[in-house]
């Protein structure tokens, strides 16, 4: 087993776990020996079953949850605590894009802004809050955020505000808890080659094939980052033993931000 069991006995929770990025993260964590709770508002049975089919013993379980609901989050953590003792690795990855028809100022409504923030920022905050006691007790924990660059290129304002908030949380939590063995990290992503980005292009009336080609071309690398590459970055951080990397934010947008 060797390298495949570096996270044995560690329990992971990945929000937005049924999506392109989330599923890749779940698969990578399970391959390293962690038991993974695949959290998603739509349910994640298929992702968990696909992971478990690869191993003799289960390494994943679906955790259907609306993270914008305090009651839902508390119930999910209660089940995890009862079954596995608590969360050691938390990946705050879930997000909603916001209302595509009215996500810019001044058209956006207060209600739509708040609804997006409740998932993209507040939900992650509460998931983090409930994970901390177990991490502190064990003297070990990893909290990772899927963030967004602090710049905009047509990104909906509530999505950008919520995801940019992860930058501050990463820094604050690192300062507050690194002495407890709890390390934090954020990856600020712009365009990732996922089914979601194809749905966004289609919803705007664009040609999906041409839209993807244009996004690849924007990157200095010649293509968008993939969910598998995101998962590799996350697990590289999770496996580190050095507290000096805590609070790090990496920008992964293929150079788009600096080309503007």
Place of tokens 């209302």: 99
The lowest-confidence range among 23-27, 148-152, 175-179 is 148-152
Burial 135-167 (b: 16+ CB within 10 A, else e): beeeebbbbbbbbbbebbeebbbbbbbbbbbbb
CB atoms within 10 A of CB 111: 9
Q: Three-state SS for 145?
A: strand
For 2-189+229-252, give the CATH class: alpha beta
Q: Both tokens of residue 255?
A: 């150079």
Distance, CA of 19 to CA of 58 (rounded, Å): 20
Strand 11-15 relative to strand 60-64, pairing: unpaired
Helix ranges restricted to H, the chain: 20-31, 45-52, 70-84, 110-117, 123-138, 157-177, 195-203, 208-218, 227-238, 256-259
Q: Is the pLDDT of residue 191 over 80?
A: no
Closest CA to 161 of 220, 217, 132, 119: 119
| Burial class of residue 213 in the structure, from the number of CB atoms within 10 Å of its CB (0-12 exposed, 13-18 middle, 19+ buried) | exposed
- pLDDT (mean) for 216-240: 83
Distance, CA of 172 to CA of 8 (rounded, Å): 28
Do 88 and 134 contact (CB within 8 A), yes or no?
A: yes
| pLDDT score at 3 | 43
Closest CA to 27 of 40, 41, 18: 18
Confidence of residue 260 (pLDDT cuts 50, 70, 90): very low
Do 92 and 125 contact (CB within 8 A), yes or no?
A: no
User: Mind listing the pLDDT tens digit for each residue in 49-99?
Assistant: 999 999 999 999 999 999 999 999 999 999 999 999 999 999 999 988 766
Q: Three-state SS for 153?
A: coil
Strand 182-189 relative to strand 248-252, pairing: parallel
User: Mind listing the pLDDT tens digit for each residue in 161-171?
Assistant: 888 899 999 99
Q: Give the pTM.
A: 0.88
Is the backbone of residue 86 left (phi > 0), alpha (psi -120 to 50) or beta?
A: left
Q: How many CA atoms lie within 13 A of 181 on its CB side?
A: 13
Domain positions in the chain are 2-189+229-252, 194-224
Confidence of residue 28 (pLDDT cuts 50, 70, 90): very high
The contacts of residue 218 (CB under 8 Å, 6+ apart) are: 191, 254, 256, 259
């Amino acid at each position: 087993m060797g390298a495949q069991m570096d996270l044995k006995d560690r329990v992971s929770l990945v929000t937005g776990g049924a999506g392109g990025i989330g599923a890749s993260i779940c698969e990578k964590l399970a391959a390293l020996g962690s038991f993974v709770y695949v959290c998603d508002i739509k349910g994640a049975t298929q992702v968990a079953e696909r992971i478990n089919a690869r191993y003799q013993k289960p390494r994943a379980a679906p955790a259907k949850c609306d993270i914008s609901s305090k009651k839902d989050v508390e119930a999910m953590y209660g089940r995890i605590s009862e079954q596995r003792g608590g969360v050691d690795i938390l990946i705050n990855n879930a997000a909603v894009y916001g209302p595509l028809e009215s996500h810019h100022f001044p058209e956006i409504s207060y209600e739509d802004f708040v609804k997006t923030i409740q998932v993209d920022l507040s939900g992650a905050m509460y998931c983090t809050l409930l994970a901390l006691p177990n991490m502190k007790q064990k003297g070990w924990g990893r909290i990772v955020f899927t963030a967004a660059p602090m710049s905009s290129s047509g990104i909906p304002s509530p999505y950008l505000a919520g995801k940019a908030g992860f930058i501050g949380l990463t820094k604050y939590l690192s300062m507050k808890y690194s002495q407890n063995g709890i390390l934090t990290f954020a990856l600020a992503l712009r365009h990732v080659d996922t089914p979601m980005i194809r749905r966004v292009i289609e919803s705007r009336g664009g040609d999906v094939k041409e839209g993807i080609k244009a996004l690849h071309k924007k990157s200095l690398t010649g293509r968008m980052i993939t969910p598998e590459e995101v998962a590799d970055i996350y697990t590289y951080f999770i496996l580190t033993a050095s507290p000096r990397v805590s609070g790090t934010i990496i920008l992964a947008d293929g150079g788009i931000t600096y080309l503007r």
